[in-house]
């Protein structure tokens, strides 16, 4: 569905098909509704295509690969998060370090730890990673990995999948191209998800109108 | 060459269910064929098998270090409550020569006395000046001494130290030291001692992964260990579960009673022999 058509659809349901009244509001309300749905986990597993899809050019669900070399006992690595991270969806091994088909003679495992564990790790050996464990924690705009000293030297690739915040600015810019922006094929949103976001936007905007009347 | 420098054994080999601490299989549990100092010569329990027994029960997966910590607590409890194991330890190997393997196990002794390389089992230190063996910390009771398979007799300290008794078959124990009239580091005699030892805890350190670790306890302690560890975990905040606690508490109590009774069948109590000194 084209971004233009989505805006018009919202306008139609509000009795304003040419967006005379809501032109300035409708895009922002739509992305806000969609963002709230992501926050509330109001989406199905197959409703948002990831960056791994070959057809999606501007995915909402994207990823960043953190790649570092495990050398000796130097086993803490900290990275700044990307500035467009909205919701972290999953952190998992990329490439060969997969729990499904290990390319090496060991199977590493990745676990998220709490801030409390991170602090206590300093003096409690039992909380430190051992064997082939790698721990990570996301806080303060950064992601920190703690790997066990037993992990063989070599490159480790860890993928972080995350949602970018839906952005009216970004989509409007893309929409200005010759063909317009199709949220289904280019951003990877399912038609159902778009419809639900439209419904929310309509409810939101009609609420605003009612508020104005009162 | 790949960048991977760790062990090249396959995962299948590593985690084979019947794998046994090969380092433990030396004759007399001497430990002289490997690097461990636990001396337990029975079949050990691979830590990773034990770990899987534990995590299968819990909804939140504890990391390896936490299971290791709780396991070591339970092993200490077994040492204190159910008892230690009897062992006949070959302290000296008898000959003056040693294999390369034997030498490497004694690497830590290099700096103290180069003559003793490979002569004494790991963690057993012989002092030629006082002609005494220092017992390792994991020995709790010292019972009997056999030199070249002949039992020597326990006598008071002054008798051992009397120069006229230098060829007598006698020994004396005070605290962690056992004194002899002869310098065992300088003669080709085989010294075996009967002792009671503590079961060792699980350790891991650089180059020796927790995943390769073995639990050097007999297999009939397995359910006691599993239920003990699960009980301990089920009261920790992150893994709190009253149902698991209740279930395994019952199991632990049953196993405990069964093992206390059964222990005498598994290990001879040697009631006919009174030990010489206990501390």
B56: exposed, middle or buried (Cβ count in 10 Å: 0-12, 13-18, 19+): exposed
The percent of residues in chain B predicted with pLDDT above 90, rounded, is 26
On whether residue B257 sits in a domain, the answer given is yes
What is the per-residue pLDDT for B253? Answer: 93
B189 belongs to a structural domain: yes
Residue pair B51/B38 in contact by the 8 Å Cβ criterion: no
Residue at B271 is within a domain: no
Write down the pLDDT at residue B22. 37
Residues B190 and B214 reside in one and the same domain: no
Residues B52 and B63 in one domain: yes
* Residues B194, B100 contacting (CB under 8 angstroms): no
Q: Where does the pLDDT of residue B19 fall: very low under 50, low under 70, confident under 90, or very high at 90 and above?
A: very low
Tell me which residue range forms the domain holding B100.
86-197
My answer on whether B237 and B224 are in the same domain is yes
Q: Which A residues in the span 99-138 are in contact with B, Cβ-Cβ below 8 Å?
A: 102, 104-107, 111, 125-133, 135
Instruction: Determine the Cα angle at B97 with ends B96 and B102, to 5°.
Output: 115
A123-182 pLDDT, tens per residue?
A: 988 899 988 889 999 998 999 999 888 777 777 888 999 999 999 999 998 888 778 899
Q: Which of B147, B173, B197 is a domain's end point?
A: B197
pLDDT (average), residues B67-95: 81
Q: Note which residues in 210-239 of chain B have CB less than 8 A from chain A.
A: 210-211
Q: Which residues of B touch A102 (CB under 8 A)?
A: 11
Residue B72: predicted pLDDT: 93
Looking at the 3D structure of chain B, how many domains does it have?
Answer: 2
Tell me which of B44 and B278 has the higher pLDDT: B44
Shared-domain flag, residues B112 and B168 = yes
Does pLDDT of B262 surpass 50?
Answer: yes
Q: What is the pLDDT of residue B54?
A: 94
Asked if the Cβ–Cβ distance from A126 to B69 is below 8 Å, we say yes
**pLDDT recorded at residue B273:** 45
Q: Cβ separation of A150 and B209 shorter than 8 Å?
A: yes
Give which of B54, B55, B65, B229 to mutate to test A binding, by max A Cβ within 10 Å.
Answer: B65
Q: Work out the average pLDDT over B218-239.
A: 92
DSSP label of B175:
T
Q: Say which residue, B218 or B103, is predicted with more confidence.
A: B218
d(CA A25, CA A28): 6
**Same domain flag for B190 and B156:** yes
DSSP state of B96: S
Domain end marker among B197, B219, B243:
B197
**Residue B17 pLDDT more than 80?**
no
CB contact under 8 A, B6 and A133: no
Residue B34 lies in a domain: no
Q: pLDDT higher for A166 or B97? A: A166
Provide the shortest C-alpha distance from residue B255 to chain A (in Å).
27
Chain A residues within 8 A of B8 when measuring between CB atoms = 105
User: By three-state DSSP, how is residue B30 classified?
Assistant: coil
Q: Which residue in A67, A126, A128 has the most chain B C-beta atoms within 10 A of its own C-beta, making it the best mutation to test that interface?
A: A126
In B25-169, DSSP assigns E strands to: 45-46, 85-90, 125-127, 132-134, 139-147, 150-154
* B chain contacts of residue A98, beta-carbon cutoff 8 Å: none
Kindly determine whether residue A131 and residue B209, on different chains, have CB atoms separated by under 8 Å: yes
Task: Pick the range with the lowest mean pLDDT from A201-205, B141-145, B195-199.
Answer: B195-199
Q: Is the pLDDT of residue B250 over 90?
A: yes
Are A131 and B9 in contact (CB < 8 Å)? Answer: no
Instruction: Quote the mean pLDDT of chain B.
Output: 74
Chain A residues with CB under 8 Å of B11 CB are 102, 105-107
Asked which of A73-77, B61-65, B97-101 is least confident by mean pLDDT, the reply is B97-101
The region, left, alpha or beta by phi > 0 then psi within -120 to 50, assigned to residue B222 is alpha
- CA–CA distance, A62 with A188 (Å, rounded to integer): 11
Give the residue-averaged pLDDT of B141-170.
89
User: Per the CB < 8 Å rule, is A105 touching B7?
Assistant: yes
Residue B22 lies in a domain: no
Q: Are residues B68 and B96 in the same domain?
A: no
Same domain, B223 and B234: yes
Provide the whole-model pTM. Answer: 0.70
The Cα B26–Cα B91 span in angstroms is 12
Taking an 8 Å cut-off on Cβ atoms, the answer to whether A126 and B8 are in contact is no
pLDDT-derived band of residue B20, with 50, 70 and 90 as boundaries?
very low
Cβ distance B3 to A153 less than 8 Å, yes or no, reads yes
Q: What is the predicted pLDDT for the residue at B106? A: 52
Chain A residue numbers touching B6 (CB-CB < 8 A) = 106, 150, 152-153
Q: Which of A111, A125, A152 sits opposite B5 (nearest CB)?
A: A152
Whether residues B68 and B123 share a domain: the answer is no
Confirm or reject contact between B52 and chain A (CB < 8 A).
no
Answer yes or no: is pLDDT of B1 > 50.
no
| B116 & B159 share domain | yes
In terms of Cα–Cα distance, which of A128, A143, A153, A156 is closest to A73? A153
pLDDT at B119: 61
Which range is most confident: A153-162, B11-20, B113-122, B175-184? B175-184
Q: Does B7 touch chain A (CB under 8 A)?
A: yes
Q: What is the three-class DSSP state of B15? A: coil
Flag whether B101 is in a domain.
yes
Residue B57's pLDDT is: 92
Looking at the fold, whether B56 and B121 belong to one and the same domain comes out as no
Token digits of residue A143: 């992601």
Query: Do residues B30 and B90 touch, judged by C-beta distance below 8 A?
Result: yes
Instruction: Single out the residue of A128, A125, A50 nearest to residue A92, CA to CA.
Output: A50
Q: Which of B175, B197, B219 is the last residue of a domain?
A: B197
- Say whether B4 and A153 touch across the interface (CB within 8 A): yes
Q: Tell me which long-range contacts B113-121 makes (C-beta under 8 A, separation of at least 24).
A: B113/B185, B115/B185, B115/B186, B116/B185, B118/B32, B118/B93, B119/B92, B119/B93, B119/B185, B120/B91, B120/B92, B120/B185, B121/B30, B121/B31, B121/B32, B121/B39, B121/B89, B121/B90, B121/B91, B121/B92
Least CB–CB distance from B4: residue in A104, A127, A130: A104
Contact A130 B210 (CB under 8 A): yes
Note whether residue B99 is domain-resident.
Answer: yes
Q: Is residue B171 part of a domain?
A: yes
Assign 3-class secondary structure to chain A: CEHHHHHHHHHHHCCCCCCCCCHHHHHHHHHHHHHHHHHCCCCCCCCECECCCCCCCCCCEEEEEEEEEEECCECEEEEECCCCEEEEEEEEECCCCCCCCCCCCCCCEEEECCHHHHHHCCCCHHHCCCCCEEEEEEECCEEEEEECCCCCCEEEEEEEEEEECCCHHHHHHHHCCCCCCECCCCCCECHHHHHHHHHHHHHHHHHHHHHHHC
Interval A18-72: pLDDT, tens: 888 888 889 999 999 999 999 999 999 899 998 888 888 899 999 999 988 876 6
Q: Do B95 and B63 fall into the same domain?
A: no
**Using one digit for the tens of pLDDT, what is the confidence trace for B168-198?**
899 999 999 999 998 887 788 888 888 888 8
Mutate to test the interface with A, among B3, B15, B52, B63 (most CBs of A within 10 A): B63
- Helix/strand/coil (H, E, C) string of B70-81? HHHHHHHHHHHH
Q: Looking at the structure, tell me whether residues B158 and B235 fall in a common domain.
A: no
Assess whether pLDDT exceeds 60 at residue A201: yes
Q: Decide which of B65 and A177 is more confident.
A: B65
Cβ-based neighbours of A119, under 8 Å, separated by 6 or more: none
Of B3, B9, B66, the CB nearest to A154: B3
Q: How confident is the model at residue B271 (pLDDT cuts 50, 70, 90)?
A: very low
Residues of chain B contacting A136 with CB distance shorter than 8 Å: none
What span, in angstroms and rounded, lies between the C-alpha atoms of B126 and B179? 10
Residue of A67, A100, A106, A108 best to disrupt the B interface, most CBs of B under 10 A: A106
């Amino acid at each position: 569905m084209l971004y233009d058509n989505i805006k018009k659809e919202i306008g139609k349901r509000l009795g304003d098909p040419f967006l005379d009244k809501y032109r300035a509001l409708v895009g922002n309300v739509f992305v806000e509704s969609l963002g709230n749905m992501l926050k509330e986990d109001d989406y199905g597993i197959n409703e948002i295509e990831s960056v791994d899809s070959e057809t999606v050019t501007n995915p909402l669900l994207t990823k960043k690969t953190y790649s570092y070399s495990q050398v000796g006992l130097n086993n803490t690595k900290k990275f700044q998060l990307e500035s467009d991270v909205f919701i972290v969806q999953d952190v998992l091994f990329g490439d060969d370090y997969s729990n499904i088909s290990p390319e090496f003679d060991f199977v590493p495992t990745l676990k998220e730890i709490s801030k409390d564990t991170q602090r206590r790790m300093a003096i409690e050996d039992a909380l430190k990673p051992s064997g082939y464990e790698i721990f990570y924690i996301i806080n303060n705009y950064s992601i920190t990995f703690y790997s066990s000293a037993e992990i063989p030297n070599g490159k480790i690739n860890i993928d972080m999948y995350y949602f970018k915040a839906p952005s009216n600015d970004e989509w409007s810019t893309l929409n200005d191209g010759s063909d317009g922006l199709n949220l289904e094929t280019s951003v990877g949103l399912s038609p159902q998800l778009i419809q639900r976001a439209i419904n929310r936007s309509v409810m939101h905007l009609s609420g605003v109108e009612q508020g104005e009347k009162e | 060459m790949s960048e991977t420098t760790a062990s090249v054994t396959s995962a299948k080999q590593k985690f084979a269910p019947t794998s046994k601490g090969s380092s433990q299989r030396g004759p007399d549990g001497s430990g002289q064929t490997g690097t461990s100092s636990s001396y337990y010569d029975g079949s050990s329990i691979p830590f990773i098998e034990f770990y899987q027994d534990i995590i299968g029960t819990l909804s939140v997966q504890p990391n390896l270090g936490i299971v290791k910590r709780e396991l070591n607590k339970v092993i200490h409890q077994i040492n204190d409550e159910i008892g230690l194991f009897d062992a006949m330890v070959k302290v000296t190997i008898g000959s003056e020569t040693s294999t390369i393997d034997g030498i490497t196990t004694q690497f830590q002794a290099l700096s103290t006395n180069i003559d003793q390389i490979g002569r004494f089992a790991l963690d057993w230190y012989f002092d030629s000046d006082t002609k005494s063996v220092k017992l390792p910390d994991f020995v709790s009771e010292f019972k009997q001494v056999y030199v070249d398979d002949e039992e020597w007799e326990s006598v008071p300290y002054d008798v051992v130290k009397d120069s006229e008794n230098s060829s007598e078959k006698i020994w004396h124990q005070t605290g962690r030291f056992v004194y002899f009239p002869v310098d065992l580091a300088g003669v080709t005699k085989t010294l075996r001692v009967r002792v009671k030892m503590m079961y060792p805890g699980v350790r891991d350190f650089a180059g020796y992964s927790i995943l390769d670790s073995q639990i050097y306890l007999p297999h009939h302690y397995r359910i006691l260990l599993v239920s003990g560890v699960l009980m301990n975990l089920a009261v920790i905040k992150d893994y709190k579960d009253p149902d698991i606690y209740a279930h395994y508490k019952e199991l632990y109590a049953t196993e405990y009673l069964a093992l206390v009774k059964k222990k005498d069948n598994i290990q001879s109590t040697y009631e006919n022999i009174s030990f010489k000194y206990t501390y």
